A and B are shown apart, each in its own frame.
Chain A
Amino acid sequence: MRQTRSKNVGITLFILLLLTPIYWLLNMSFKTNQEILGGLTLWPQNFTLDNYAVIFTDPSWYNGYINSMIYVSINVVITLLVALPAAYAFSRYKFLGDKHLFFWLLSNRMAPPAVFLLPFFQLYSSIGLFDTHIAVALAHCLFNVPLAVWILEGFMSGVPREYDEMAYIDGYSFPKFFVKVFLPMIRSGIGVTAFFAFMFSWVELLLARTLTSVDAQPIGAIMTRTIGASGIDWGVLAAAGSLTIIPGLLVIWFVRNHVAKGFALGRV
């Protein structure tokens, strides 16, 4: 029993340490700039929502969040649409060059985004997609699609072939079988995949920032504006940062029961 207790203390301590920097960000977002620069206070003495008011009343601020949400959503949809059939093929069939193709796909997850920065910029500029949400969404497919294929393939391999054959005997056509029978069986796999696609697209900034200038600018790029002539506006910066944590929290709440399964397959 004593061992369990010391374990509990250990994990509680670790999580507290993990949350301290986040608490500090939140703490700062509720302070005025005078208080922030005036001295160290462990909680806001003059509690204020002004920093958040700045963000929610200025379209050039809150549009950043909307832009980010838009390209992340487009990315998740594209990723799932193309990855589902491909993962099915990889999990069920042997075909010419399948192993090489699989490794080639994964190798794109390994490519440093910095390598693709300039060519992406030129590619999307030349086809007139620069500064659009779709450009960022497509660029993020570079690392999300391989990942999605990998995760989904794991889930699909867990469904016995007999189901496929049974459906054919029952007279299901392939598309009907895939949508009506197969997809519901790997529901949690799709949830986990969507979660990771969301996550990696949401946290990425290097490509998102390079491919946009005004109309599709992500919140991360807008945050650099808080550095003005009179120094950094710490309060607003902290408030903007705090707000970026919320979408992630919501998403993990929805898939919390499935995430463990996704990790269990060891495919992140």
Chain B
Amino acid sequence: MQKVQNNKAWWLVLPVFLLVAFSALIPLMTVVNYSVQDIFGPGQAFFVGTEWFKEVLTDERLQDSLLRQFIFSGAVLLIQIPLGIGVALMMPKSGIKGSLCLILLAIPLLIPWNVVGTIWQIFARGDIGLFGWGINQLGIDYNYTGDTLDAWLTVLLMDVWHWTPLVALLCYSGLRAIPEAFYQAAEIDRASKWAVFRYIQLPRLKSVLIIAVLLRFMDSFMIYIEPFVLTGGGPGSSTTFLSQTLTTMAIGQFDLGRAAAFSLIYFLIVLLISWLFFTAITHADKEK
């Protein structure tokens, strides 16, 4: 659509600008302010420059949790994107069955995150949970509160359960947008199932997939409540992800300067990677 140049449009954007500035800029400035000071108490703050940043960047605990975070987000994307596409391909095209699928798939997305943790806490327990009990019954020793690998797999499975539906729903709507004529043409050409997927469906899914990847990356990178409820970050610190490390530091230990420096680095990482995705999206839009 041809847009008109009109700076008066700022008046329409002003409420949003003020609101977001209030709830984002002021807190962000506070964080920046803390990150360059050492605070002992009210009125006892000292300017320390980039000291905290240096310390944070060389802190082993943080590096570990950053590494864990990247592995987790990577695993999430590797599992959920293909699985989501698969589910979307299997969903009924229309009618009552289609909308029923839509609603049932959306249920995990609408459950408060702490309840998601609770559900899995109950479900995966060896004594009272169907899942944990079943696995143990199969003769596999499984205990998510004691074993690191089990804890990891449980957190990962929980996230797959929680968020694959989002990817599926996005892909589903992307698939619905493909005109029927495309499939008819493929049929005339006797294209195989794979060829239809590879050359018709996948390219058309591109823009939805970029958004799915972006959303799943951002949200998995900020994951906090679910593993916190499920494993409490343990055993040891094996499932402690970035947000939890940060929260413990800021609220638990009240280590303001260090937490603030860490916050900024954290935010910058998310912003940088998201910006790369965002450029990819706008680029894809232009090609259309």
Contacts and interface: CB of A to CB of B under 8 A. Distances in A.
Contacts of B26: 119, 123
A204 interface: yes
A139 B26 CA distance: 12
Interface string A61-97: 0000000000000000010011101101111111110
B112 A205 contact: yes
A199 to B, nearest CB: 6
A28 B211 CA distance: 37
A263 B119 contact: no
Contact of A86 (B16, B28, B263, B267): B16
A107 interface: yes
Interface string A179-210: 00000000000000000000100111110001
Contacts of B122: 24-25, 28, 234, 237-238
A11 to B, nearest CB: 4
A25 B114 CA distance: 13
Nearest to B277: A110
21 contacts: A11-B101, A18-B107, A19-B107, A20-B123, A40-B128, A93-B5, A105-B16, A111-B24, A112-B221, A112-B222, A114-B222, A114-B224, A117-B247, A119-B31, A146-B20, A206-B224, A206-B225, A223-B115, A248-B110, A249-B103, A252-B103
A96 B10 contact: yes
A252 B20 CA distance: 27
A47 B218 CA distance: 42
Interface in B1-57: 1-10, 12-13, 15-17, 19-20, 22-24, 26-28, 30-31
B92 A115 contact: no
Given A85-B13, A266-B170, A138 B23 contact: yes
Nearest to A220: B114
Contacts of A245: 107, 110-111, 115
Given A93-B4, A118-B256, A36 B128 contact: yes
B60 to A, nearest CB: 20
Contacts of B109: 199, 203, 248
A244 B211 CA distance: 28
Interface in B71-105: 87, 89-92, 99, 101-105
Contacts of B208: 266
Contacts of B243: 112-114, 206
B113 interface: yes
Contacts of A120: 23, 27
B278 interface: yes
Contacts of A7: 89-90
Nearest to A250: B110
Interface string A137-161: 0110110011001000000010011
Given A95-B5, A95-B10, A105 B20 contact: yes
Given A241-B119, A245-B107, A248-B107, 17 more contacts: A11-B90, A18-B161, A20-B123, A28-B128, A92-B4, A95-B9, A96-B10, A112-B243, A202-B112, A204-B113, A206-B225, A220-B114, A245-B110, A245-B111, A256-B102, A261-B173, A264-B176
A36 B129 CA distance: 9
Contact of B172 (A89, A109, A112, A263): A263
B17 A101 contact: yes
Interface residues on A, range: 35 or more
Interface in B173-212: 173-174, 176-177, 193, 207-208, 211
A219 B251 CA distance: 21
Nearest to A245: B111
Given A93-B3, A115-B266, A249 B107 contact: yes
A115 B52 CA distance: 16
Nearest to A204: B113
Contact of A24 (B114, B130, B250, B251): B130
Contacts of A55: none
B20 A111 contact: no
A116 interface: yes
Contacts of A252: 103, 106, 110
Contacts of B2: 161
B155 interface: no
A167 interface: no
Contact of A257 (B91, B99, B107, B113): B99
A11 B92 CA distance: 9
B118 A241 contact: yes
B282 to A, nearest CB: 9
